[in-house]
Amino acid sequence: MKLHYHVSKAGEHWQIASEKKPASKTFRTKSDAIAHAQKALKGKNENATLVIHKADGSIGEVRSYHDKNTPRIKEAKIARRLDTDKIKLAIAEALEKKRGE
């Protein structure tokens, strides 16, 4: 069974939570939370996924840990698509505003 762990923003801090247990520890920075999660996952011999969220809650990165404890990093396609959609919308709004002037 593959477990999913999430690093996410909680108020002014960052937390690590899993499907099995809620966050029990908070960290001052995102990088501290990621480092702690990586260390914990590398010590376990299980298949797991570390989902790293951006400050706005969207998915920024997904890391998969396998039996050999080697993370495979891939950028979340949905995050890339959302950013592209925002850029297209901003360009369309700017062009529409310019035409109205």
The model's pLDDT over 16-52, given as tens digits with 9 standing for 90+, comes to: 998 788 887 899 999 999 999 988 887 666 778 889 9
Q: Is the pLDDT of residue 8 over 80?
A: yes
Q: What local confidence, expressed as pLDDT, does residue 35 receive?
A: 93
The candidate with the shortest Cα–Cα distance to 51, out of 39, 67, 65, is: 65
Digit-coded pLDDT (tens) for 76-94: 555 555 556 666 777 777 7
Residue 12, Cβ density class (10 Å: 0-12 exposed, 13-18 middle, ≥19 buried): exposed
Q: Where are the domains of the chain?
A: 3-75
> Using an 8 Å Cβ cutoff, are 61 and 73 in contact?
yes
Which amino acid is residue 75, in one-letter code? E
Q: Is the pLDDT of residue 72 over 80?
A: no
CA distance 41 to 2: 12
Report the DSSP beta bridge partners of residue 65.
48
Which amino acid is residue 8, in one-letter code? S
Q: What is the pTM of this model?
A: 0.63
Q: What local confidence, expressed as pLDDT, does residue 34 receive?
A: 93
Q: What local confidence, expressed as pLDDT, does residue 42 receive?
A: 77
Q: What local confidence, expressed as pLDDT, does residue 16 receive?
A: 94
